[in-house]
Structure 1
Amino acid sequence: MNKQILKFYTLFVVVFLSCNVDKANNKIGKKEIVKLNITEEPKSIEGELIAIEGFVSPNRMNLQDSILFVKDSRAEKYIHLVDLKNKMRLTSFGIKGKGPGELLSASSMDFYGNRLWVHDLTLGKFVSFDKDSILNNLDGSYKYTDEIQFKEKARQNHNPTWLNDSTTISTTFSESMNRLILTNSQGKVSDEVFEMIPPQKKDTPRAIHNQSYQGKIQKHPSQNKIAVVNRYSDLLEIYDLENETSKLIKTHQNFTPIYEVIKADGNLIMGQDETTRFGCIDISATNDKIFTLYSGRKRGEGFANYANKIYVYDWKGNYLSSYRIPDLAIGILAQNNNTLLTLEYNKDGMGMLKRYILNEK
């Protein structure tokens, strides 16, 4: 990477900006920008190891009743079902391929109703599996339920999650000027909402800039709020869909994505080097709280895309508490305000499922 690295403005003060309509005539509401000053050291906690065999590279979880769905993109079958009550793996499913119901990569997943939806960023599609069908056919004789092929701009989305029976919401790395896109059940973008942080240089391609703010998305159980954490920034974003307001919270070291636009195989991509710093690795939430896995380390420091710190916020963006876990984690899931599940890796690089009991109010 050369020395012409793009840096973004730093947010130190609280400002309130009243916005009207962007170029696409989409409402973006009021935006509040806040810088927190977190000086408290995370409290060290120990967890309970839940010994599950069959994990290869687990990285995301979803819980339905006492059944845990674990995404494992590198496994031959990319979704594991774990019975938490009996602490055992029930089965693994998912066929890799380009055919109907098949995926090349399990990028993210979301549960809606009785269906697990798995997103394939490579093929640009969303495939669903019926929970009862899988549980009743642990031998693998189940079939996928439905498939949505994302079209045009909708193909360039991150972590789609269902808001209702006909609409998903996600972040995007397209040329969009908006932060969130809504997609209908036919796979087409139906709306774009809230303002994306603009690049510092006008000639920076929007798609590359939007890619630099990629991260994980988490909806509030009410479906009316969305939280986004950033992979290359310490930014926590909270969007109120009903009131059309947003709050952007700088949480730790006050850093923004640093990259250079480079050309590889004829395509422009986001260039990284050893100075690339990682922010939040994963997110989970309850009705009251947002739980984030935070790294803060540079790529050159090693394993920066894993984290051993957990920071807790409320849905107004206020800092509540923080914890330090023994090993590096890549996935987090809140069972409730006091119980967390993590996907961690031990010193031998083996994936582990652990449970932590917190002292949250």
Structure 2
Amino acid sequence: MKKGKAFVFAGWWSIALVMVLGSCKKMLPVDRPAFSLESQFTQDLYQPVLGRTTLMTNNFNAEGSTLPLTFRIINVRTFNDEPAPELLKLFPVEVWKKPYTGDEKTLAEITAKRATEDHPLFEIREHSGEFIMWNSATSDILKAQPDSGYLFDVEAFNDGGKRIFKNMKLRPFRERPYEPNNQNPITGANSNPAIKPFTVTDMITDSTGSNMSADDISIYFYRKGEGNSLTLRFLDKRLQPMDPDLFKDTKWNELLHGFNMQKTKEAVRYDVAFPIPLVEMPTRYTTFDGKQAKMVFAYSRQGFGNLRQDASFQINFAIYRKGDWEMVIWFNRENPKFIND
């Protein structure tokens, strides 16, 4: 082949290759969003406790649908098929604008990380399908069990399709402002308001030297105002005040995430932010799962044979309602033995 014709042929082949590749590109399939009709909520009954912010997670299976999906609550109504505007009305709620770490040094530092926004009391996260019941929801506003509660539908969709999940149920329990709590979640009755310590270790009685158990210690919660405080009081078996310094090995400044500690012969008071704990995450002030605050009261004494006896008891708890709270710790049978043998 002559050189000139070779150039012409090569040029023609290049043009043809570009045309073929261009047409193939046009023929390639275009990825389109998919919506699986097998997608589903893993539960249709939700029973949050009123008075506390509850996030209901891991409740939707997308089954291969293209993410993100968008979710909306629609057609909210009572079980009697009447309108339920109370679930759609906006109420002020506190939200975190900066992460809580557990290392905040002042109440003002915690306050600066939160802001007040208006939200429906019950809502769905737009792209996860998770539900939130905000702590502003109370039984004064919403229907609580034993009422049958509410029905609602959820619309889930993307550009590939949509589905409406019908007749989902919301049946809240009435408030329990602290935990542990013996209050009946439906009637609200509480015949035994005292709770017990989580653990009691190497504590003996001052009269007989017998081992103390959790049943020997009764703990009561009292809300006495609208502020931001927690006061700890100790009572002996005759309901007389006990000096907190008897628990001499207690790390009072690290007992809970509180501030401006004031300790007297009868009580220990802290300024605190609510709820306690502030966030469900492990910190040095919480249980290992972060769901409850943890307080350890400790002392040591010299036992028989000059053996050191390290005694303590631990209280795990949560408080959800803001206020001036008192926790009264009563040694209901015998007093602990603090003096050396």
TM range, smaller chain? under 0.3
Structure showing the higher strand proportion among its residues: 1
| TM-score calculated relative to the size of structure 1 | 0.25
Q: TM-score, normalised by structure 2?
A: 0.26
Larger Rg: 2
Question: Larger % of helix: which?
Answer: 2
